Amino acid sequence: MDTISFAGKNLKTIMITAREKDGTSEAREAEPYSYRFEAGNKYFYCYDISKMGTRKFRVENIIDVSVTNNSFSPRWPVEV
């Protein structure tokens, strides 16, 4: 969460790897935006650059996060 927060505050994209519902994992570049609680679970919301859409991940399913050197212009308020 510290890495995501750093990226958000500095308007840098992240490379995030997370377990999908089918058990697979995939690395993707994303713009970090917010955390939300839903039905007792904490979710991380981001904008997936390659799929051109918002995505959410259960925080417990995030495997790895790293900050890239790529900057972004926020589409929405960055709350991380």
Q: The CATH number of the domain where 57 resides is what?
A: 2.30.30.520
The answer to whether position 79 is within a domain reads no
The residues, any chain, with a CB within 8 Å of residue 22's CB and separated by 6 or more, are none
The answer to whether position 77 is within a domain reads no
pLDDT score, position 28? 97
The answer to whether position 18 is within a domain reads yes
Average pLDDT (54-66) is: 97
Number of domains in the chain: 1
Write out pLDDT tens, residues 12-40: 999 999 998 899 999 999 999 999 999 99
The answer to whether position 78 is within a domain reads no
The answer to whether position 66 is within a domain reads yes
The answer to whether position 27 is within a domain reads yes
Side-chain-side CA neighbours of 78 within 13 Å: the count stands at 19
Distances in whole angstroms, Cα of residue 32 to Cα of each of 22, 23, 37, 39: 23, 23, 16, 22
